[in-house]
Amino acid sequence: MDTQGIMALALELAHQAEIPADSGIDVPAPSVRRALFGIDADSGDLLIAKQLGYDVLINHHPTGGTSQVRFPEVLRRHRVLLELAGVPPDAAERAVQSLLEEHESAAHARNYDKLPSEARLLAMPLMAIHNPCDEIGRRVMDETLRAHLPSNPTVRDSIAVLNRIPEFNKALTKIVVRMGKDANPLGKWVVIHGAGTNGGYPVAKAAFDHGIDTVFYIHVDAGHLRRLREEYGRDGRRSLVVTGHIASDSIGINVLVREMRTRGVSVDCFGGVLDV
Ligand SMILES: [Fe+2]
Ligand SMILES: [Fe+2]
């Protein structure tokens, strides 16, 4: 496989027609036999990959170039997830605009060529596969819940179902109820993942204000959580379940890693990926 083939495989598994804005190939590799797969690559990781003779360093989070500069575009995916969950388009769009306001200036300010320039200097192939892996992970979580939830489930039941996924079982972090209580009825629920980053206050609010009782995030910022708790009550009827960043990211990464291995690529996971 070459780096293009690896990206094409990720898109196929994610049912995506084109490379999302937060993903891309910084330095291509014509032939990949051994790949190193991590989450938060820095210069040290590039050197490790180079020194150990890997053909490519595949990183989950955006590495630079357009995957960092165009990153905010994937935040629009929150609108799709909210609408699928029954949130009216105008409310979903307002939530996205609020997220864009928060993230666009940071993306614009980023030193986007640092890692790619180092990869070029080292002649070390480098690529970022972010949204395809997260979309795969979102689907695994969503489908696992749909398949195994008992009737009239509580929030506690949903956590027990998610813990069947090996990555959650293996992770040091546990799935936590950050708002609401585990005895709450699960009610109408939505898994918000695979949309750049967590939807913070605006996306959870759009969901809670339009009939959704439980929101699943993989992570949430403390300031956004505080605002949600102030509005809906720390132990109220609306529940925010946070599944854990690295465990959740690993779910989608591992689906891709397994498929690469069946195609003859030797893949080593490092840098936090939970290899299950
Ligand atoms: Fe992710
Ligand atoms: Fe992540």
- In 3D space, the residue among 222, 169, 166, 159 whose CA is nearest the CA of residue 191 turns out to be 159
Q: Mean per-residue pLDDT for 41-69? A: 97
Q: Where do the domains of the chain lie, and which CATH numbers do they carry?
A: 3-130+249-269 (3.40.1390), 135-248 (3.40.1390)
> Ligand 1 centroid vs 61 CA: distance in angstroms?
7
| 56-87 confidence digits (pLDDT tens) | 999 999 999 999 999 999 999 999 999 999 99
Residues whose CB is under 5 A from ligand 1 (ion)? 134, 249
> Ligand 1 centroid vs 131 CA: distance in angstroms?
7
Ligand (nearest to CA of 136): 1
How much is the pLDDT for 194?
97
The contacts found for 222-226 with CB under 8 angstroms, 24 or more apart, are: 224/198, 224/200, 225/178, 225/179
Residue 19 in contact with residue 64, Cβ under 8 Å? no
C-alpha 16/C-alpha 9 separation (Å) is 10
C-alpha 276/C-alpha 56 separation (Å) is 21
How much is the pLDDT for 262?
98
Q: Kindly give, in sequence order, each residue whose CB lies less than 8 Å from that of residue 60, ignoring residues fewer than 6 positions away.
A: 37, 38, 39, 40, 128, 129, 130, 133, 249, 253, 273
pLDDT of 125 over the 90 cut: yes
How much is the pLDDT for 25?
98
Ligand (nearest to CA of 246): 2
| 173-223 confidence digits (pLDDT tens) | 999 999 999 999 999 999 999 999 999 999 999 999 999 999 999 999 999
How much is the pLDDT for 158?
98
How much is the pLDDT for 115?
98
Ligand (nearest to CA of 249): 1
> Ligand 1 centroid vs 247 CA: distance in angstroms?
10
b/e per residue, 199-211, with b = 16+ CB within 10 A?
Answer: bbbbbbbbbbeee
Residue 124 in contact with residue 46, Cβ under 8 Å? yes
Q: For all residues of the chain together, what is the average pLDDT? A: 97
Structure confidence at residue 275 as a pLDDT band (50, 70, 90): confident
Percent of the chain exceeding pLDDT 90 equals: 99
> Ligand 2 centroid vs 130 CA: distance in angstroms?
8
> Ligand 1 centroid vs 92 CA: distance in angstroms?
21
Structure confidence at residue 269 as a pLDDT band (50, 70, 90): very high
How much is the pLDDT for 238?
98
CA-CA-CA-CA dihedral for 137, 139, 143, 144, to nearest 10: 10
> Ligand 1 centroid vs 140 CA: distance in angstroms?
13
